[in-house]
Structure 1
Amino acid sequence: MKYCSTRGKVKGLSFSEAIMMGLADDGGLLLPEEIPTLTAEDLESLKDLSYPELAFAIMAKYATDIPAEDLRSIINRSYSTFADPKVTPITKQDGLFILELFHGPTLAFKDVALQFLGNLFEYYLLKSGRRMNIIGATSGDTGSAAIYGVRGKKNINIFILHPKGRVSPIQELQMTTVTDDNVFNLAVEGTFDDAQTIVKTIFNDLEFKEKHALGAVNSINWARVLAQVVYYFSAWNQVQKQTGAIQIDVSVPTGNFGDIFAGYIAKRMGLPIRRLILATNSNNILSRFINEGDYSIAGVHHTLSPSMDIQIASNFERYLYYLLDQDADQVCATMDRFADEKKINFSPAQIARVKEEFASAFIDDNETIATIREFHQETGYTLDPHTAVGVAVGKQVGSSTTPLVCLATAHPAKFGAAVRDAIGCDPEIPEAFADLAEREKKVETIVADIETIKEFVSARAI
Structure 2
Amino acid sequence: MKYYSTNHNSPDVTLAEAVVKGLAPDRGLYMPEHIDRLPKEFFDDIADMSFHDISCRVAQTFFGEDIPADDLRRIVCDTLSFPTPVVEVEPDIYSLELFHGPTLAFKDVGARFMARMLQYFISRGNDRRKVNVLVATSGDTGSAVANGFLDIEGINVHVLYPKGKVSPVQECQFTTLGRNITAIEVDGVFDDCQRLVKSAFLDKELNDRLLLTSANSINVARFLPQAFYYFNAYAQLKKAGKGENVVICVPSGNFGNITAGLIAHRMGLPVRRFIAANNANDVFFNYLQNGVYEPKPSVATIANAMDVGDPSNFARILDLYGHDHGMIKSLISGATYSDGLISATIADCYGRTGYLLDPHGAVGYRALKQLLLPGEVGVFLETAHPAKFKDVVEPIIGTSVDIPDRLSAFMHGTKQSVPMSKDFSAFRSYLSGIS
Q: Identify the residue that residue 334 of structure 1 maps to in structure 2.
A: none
CA contact (8 A) 2:3 2:13 kept: yes
| Cα pair 1:139 1:167 within 8 Å, conserved | yes
- Deviation larger for 12-21 or 447-456: 12-21
Shift of 1:23: 0.6
Distance 2:47 2:205 in 1: 47
Counterpart position of 1:165: 164
Q: What's 2:325 paired with?
A: 351
Match of 1:450 among 419, 424, 431: 424
In structure 2, give the amino acid aligned to 1:88.
T
Q: 1:382 aligns with which of 356, 377, 382?
A: 356
Q: Does 1:174 align with 2:170?
A: no
TM-score, normalized by length of structure 2?
Answer: 0.96
Question: Which residue does 1:36 correspond to in 2?
Answer: 36
SS at match of 1:61: helix
Aligned to 1:329: none
Alignment of 1:313 onto 2:327: no
CA gap 1:104/1:435 in 2 versus in 1, 3 angstroms: closer
- C-alpha distance in structure 1 between counterparts of 2:39 and 2:245, whole Å: 15
What corresponds to 2:71 in structure 1?
70
C-alpha spacing 1:298/1:65, structure 2 compared with 1 (3 Å): closer
Q: Distance in 2 between matches of 1:294 and 1:361?
A: 16
Corresponding residue for 1:396?
370
Q: What is the root-mean-square deviation of aligned Cα atoms in Å?
A: 1.5
Matched, 1:266 2:264: yes
**SS of match in other structure, 1:98:** strand
The answer as to whether partners of 1:161 and 1:185 remain within 8 angstroms in 2 is: yes
Which amino acid is the alignment partner of residue 133 of structure 2?
Answer: I
Match of 1:288 among 271, 286, 289: 286
Q: Which residue of 2 is the match for residue 114 of structure 1?
A: 111
Deviations 1:248-302 (A, max 9, x none): 1000001111111111101111111111100010111111112332421334221
CA contact (8 A) 1:245 1:402 kept: no
The equivalent position to 1:104 in structure 2, one of 101, 106, 109, is 101
State the AA in 2 paired with 1:164: K
Please, which of 86, 91, 97 is the counterpart of residue 90 of structure 1?
86
Matched, 1:422 2:396: yes
What pairs up with 1:326-341 in 2 under 5 angstroms? none
What's the CA shift for 1:435? Answer: 4.4
Distance 1:93 1:65 in 2: 41
Q: How far did 1:244 drift?
A: 4.2
SS at structure 1 position matched to 2:433: helix
Q: Which moved more, 1:409-418 or 1:13-22?
A: 13-22
SS of 1:296's equivalent in the other structure is coil
Q: Which amino acid counterpart does residue 384 of structure 1 have in structure 2?
A: D
CA distance in 2, matches of 1:41, 1:433: 40
For 1:293-308, list aligned pairs within 5 A: 293-308=291-306
Deviation at 1:74, TM superposition (A): 1.2
Deviation for aligned residue 1:14: 2.2
Q: Distance in 2 between matches of 1:236 and 1:404?
A: 11
Q: CA deviation at 1:204?
A: 1.3
How far did 1:78 drift? 1.5
Q: 1:339 — aligned with what?
A: none
User: So what's the TM-score if we normalise by structure 1?
Assistant: 0.90
Q: Provide Cα deviations, 1:196-223, integer angstroms capped at 9, x if missing partner.
A: 0111111112331242100110000011
Q: 2:24 — aligned with what? A: 24
Paired positions, count? 431
User: Structure 1 residue aligned with 2:123, among 122, 126, 148?
Assistant: 126
Which residue in the other structure is 1:58 paired with? Answer: 58
Contact 1:179 1:440 in 2 (8 A): no
SS at match of 2:393: helix
Counterpart amino acid of residue 90 in structure 1: V
Report the alpha carbon displacement of residue 11 of structure 1 after superposing the two structures with TM: 4.0
Give the secondary-structure state (helix, strand or coil) at the position aligned to 1:295. coil
Contact 1:102 1:109 in 2 (8 A): yes
Identity, % of aligned pairs?
39
Q: Check the 8 A contact 1:398/1:404 in 2, yes or no.
A: yes
Contact 2:245 2:375 in 1 (8 A): no
Within 5 Å, give how 1:176-325 maps onto structure 2: 176-180=175-179, 182-324=180-322
Q: Distance in 1 between matches of 2:322 and 2:242?
A: 36
Q: Distance in 2 between matches of 1:226 and 1:435?
A: 30
Answer with 403-412 or 117-126: which moved more. Answer: 117-126
The equivalent of 1:335 in structure 2 is none
Q: 2: distance between equivalents of 1:58 and 1:446?
A: 40
CA contact (8 A) 1:162 1:188 kept: yes
Q: Aligned to 1:41, what secondary structure does the other structure show?
A: helix
1:440 to 398, 406, 414: 414
Write out per-residue CA displacement over residues 142-169 of structure 1, whole angstroms, 9 at most, x where no aligned residue.
0110000111111111111000000011
What 5-or-longer segments of structure 2 have no aligned partner? Answer: none
Q: Counterpart amino acid of 1:416? A: K
- Secondary structure at the residue paired with 2:240? helix
Q: Counterpart of 2:58 in 1: which secondary structure?
A: helix
- 1:41-71 deviations in Å (ceiling 9; x for gaps): 2322333222122111001111121111011
Whether 1:366 aligns to 2:319 is no
Q: Which is further off, 198-207 or 434-443? A: 434-443
* CA deviation after TM superposition for structure 1 residue 357, in Å: 1.3
Confirm or deny: 8 A CA contact 2:174 2:181 kept in the other structure: no
Q: What is the DSSP-based 3-state SS (H/G/I as helix, E as strand, rest coil) of the residue aligned with 1:407? A: strand
- Mapped contact 2:103–2:406 kept (Cα < 8 A): no
Deviates more, 1:11-20 or 1:59-68: 11-20
Counterpart for residue 151 of structure 2? 152
- Aligned-residue offset at 1:224: 1.5
* Residue in 2 that maps onto 1:410: 384
